[in-house]
Amino acid sequence: MAVAESVEQRADSFVRSPHRLLIDGEWVEAASGQTFETINPATEEVLAEVAHGQAEDIERAVRAARKAFADDSPWRRMNASDRGRLIWRVAELIEEHADEFAMLESLDNGKPYHIAKAADVALAADLFRYMAGWPTKIEGTTVPISALPAPGEYLAYTLREPVGVVGQIIPWNFPLLMAAWKLGPVLACGCTVVLKPAEQTPLSALRLGELLQEAGLPDGVVNIVTGFGDAGAALAAHDDVDKVAFTGSTEVGKLIVQAAAGNLKKVTLELGGKSPNVVFADADPESAIIGAANGIFFNHGQCCNAGSRLYVQKPIFDDIVAGVADQAKQIKVAPGTDPEAQMGPLISDEQFEKVLGYLDSGRGDGAEAVVGGSRHGDRGYFVQPTVLTHTNPSMKVEREEIFGPVVCAIPFDSPEEIVPVANDTNYGLAAGVFTRDISKAHRTAKRLRAGTVWINTYHVFDAAMPFGGYKESGWGREMGHQVLNNYLETKSVVTAL
């Protein structure tokens, strides 16, 4: 069954249009003339042909970004108020095209249309609106220096300046939203950028590129090069890029750090996770069940912050597991364009095989699937929402990021023992705590080594709230005013009076 005809038609006309690279304000073919295919994960059919950008295209795009960052460029001369107004306009344009973006995300990524609209698209617009307020508030300070060996009268102050040309590499799990998280602060801080979307999901970023032009962004400020990891690698290694921001796997994050060493460009990383969701015996069972299910099944488990290790205190373990299993059974798994879909296919054949491989490995190690445990249907990359029990910390399913709708439910005895267990991971992105005891809730939140802790809820995001990881989950923070630090340099100016 179709959503609204007109929405499908609008998205379809964009899907069928040529998909080129955005370089210096022009839509251009890749230098090689090559294209690659993106796949609709619900049907396994080709969705669109997209320009295959490679190192030579990254070179052209970086040159454009450098030119747009020149001292006398229109972008550098634009005042803070106008920059804010432009970013605000981007938010409005995203909202005006919300249906179309939701459909593009659904076709390209597989996520349900109505969820893409309510979550991805709404949050993307809100991120730009939040960032629109910042250009007029990026301030330095005046500093009362003593200048001990050279006493005198001074005026000393700091300036906050854009870091320069930025390279940004984003993943496929929230294609539009990750583009927004990345581009919003770049524009607020007055940088210029080359964005490399994930090869699986380039469409919404390209549509956003068109809207950035419509909003009046000067040429070369945002350049978009679609392609594979080699394009990302060329961007991360480029000597004329001042900073690289990456979201994706921890494995590639480490490659980015190495690539960035050549010119010591600044690096921020938002990487993987194996986040603990801790349910104490005194939790409200209903909110714990909903929080645990949402924590793992939202976006088909393809969230860096998914609550994939569910620790439940023994007295209520069976009830909570039964409740989460019941939630899993009720989830309508269907193509994202089905108005009733609550969970779509995984993103790709590769990811589908990877998740099924983890299910096999869990079974081989003695884990039991209370619900799910295999593929859903026989076409498209659908996997059943799955709850595993009888796992232990030596099993891959309990240690490694699965990035699919698979949770390990693990019983624990006492509140004292659980924090070190929850922290026993190389990751540190997020965590959940469910309890009605406020003291226990905040004490546990304080001790968890994670960049975000949700209490009696899960997956709550806001443009004003910083997000990022401890340990191997990353460097730096996205969103909130903290993200501005990623894109600003501080200059100290000292004047003898």
Give dist(CA 27, CA 333) in Å, integer: 37
Residues forming beta bridges with residue 492, ordered by sequence position? 158
String marking each residue 12-31 x if it binds ligand NAP according to CB under 6 A: --------------------
Binder among 36, 157, 228, 470 for ligand NAP (CB under 6 A): 228
Whichever of 97 and 243 has its CB closer to ligand NAP, that residue is 243
Whichever of 133 and 357 has its CB closer to ligand NAP, that residue is 357
Binder among 255, 421, 445, 455 for ligand NAP (CB under 6 A): 255
Segment near ligand NAP (CB under 6 A); pick from 115-123, 166-174, 204-212, 279-287: 166-174
String marking each residue 196-225 x if it binds ligand NAP according to CB under 6 A: x-xxx-------------------------
Least separation in angstroms between residue 461's CB and ligand NAP is: 13
Binder among 87, 124, 304, 448 for ligand NAP (CB under 6 A): 304
The reply to whether 270 belongs to the active site is yes
Matching residue, tokens 């994202």: 336
Least separation in angstroms between residue 107's CB and ligand NAP is: 17
Give the DSSP H or E segment for 38.
Answer: strand 35-40
Matching residue, tokens 């249907």: 377
Number of residues that bind ligand NAP (CB under 6 A): 28
b/e map of 67-92 (b: 16 or more CB within 10 Å)?
ebbeeebebeebeeeebbebbbbbbe
Binder among 224, 271, 388, 484 for ligand NAP (CB under 6 A): 271
What are the structure tokens assigned to 30, written together?
Answer: 């890749």
Give dist(CA 94, CA 97) in Å, integer: 5
Nearest alpha carbon to residue 170 among 183, 161, 179: 179
Matching residue, tokens 């193509």: 335
Which ranges of 111-174 would DSSP assign to H, the alpha helix? 113-115, 122-132
Residues forming beta bridges with residue 452, ordered by sequence position? 430
Which of 189, 191, 303, 304 is the catalytic position? 304
Give dist(CA 69, CA 86) in Å, integer: 17
String marking each residue 59-98 x if it binds ligand NAP according to CB under 6 A: ----------------------------------------
Give dist(CA 173, CA 111) in Å, integer: 9
Give dist(CA 483, CA 182) in Å, integer: 9
Matching residue, tokens 């060493």: 261
**Would you say 209 and 225 are in contact if contact means Cβ atoms under 8 Å apart?**
no
Least separation in angstroms between residue 229's CB and ligand NAP is: 3
Q: Name which of residues 229 to 248 contact ligand NAP (CB under 6 A).
A: 229, 232-233, 236, 247-248
In 413-472, the DSSP E strands lie at 430-434, 452-455
Binder among 31, 64, 169, 430 for ligand NAP (CB under 6 A): 169
Report angle CA 226, 229, 232 to the nearest 5 degrees: 70
> For residue 139, which amino acid is it?
E
Q: Per CB under 6 A, does 171 bind ligand NAP?
A: yes
Which of 8, 105, 270, 478 is the catalytic position? 270
Least separation in angstroms between residue 210's CB and ligand NAP is: 20
The reply to whether 304 belongs to the active site is yes
Least separation in angstroms between residue 347's CB and ligand NAP is: 8
Least separation in angstroms between residue 465's CB and ligand NAP is: 17
Least separation in angstroms between residue 255's CB and ligand NAP is: 4
Residue 323's CB is within 10 A of a number of other CB atoms, namely: 18
Closest residue to ligand NAP, judged by C-beta, is 232
Least separation in angstroms between residue 421's CB and ligand NAP is: 22
Contacting residues for 249 by C-beta, under 8 A, at least 6 apart: 171, 271, 272
Contacting residues for 396 by C-beta, under 8 A, at least 6 apart: 358, 361, 362, 365
Q: Which residues are catalytic?
A: 270, 304
In the complex, which residues of this chain contact ligand NAP (CB under 6 A)? 169-173, 196, 198-200, 228-229, 232-233, 236, 247-249, 252, 255-256, 270-272, 304, 351, 354, 401, 403
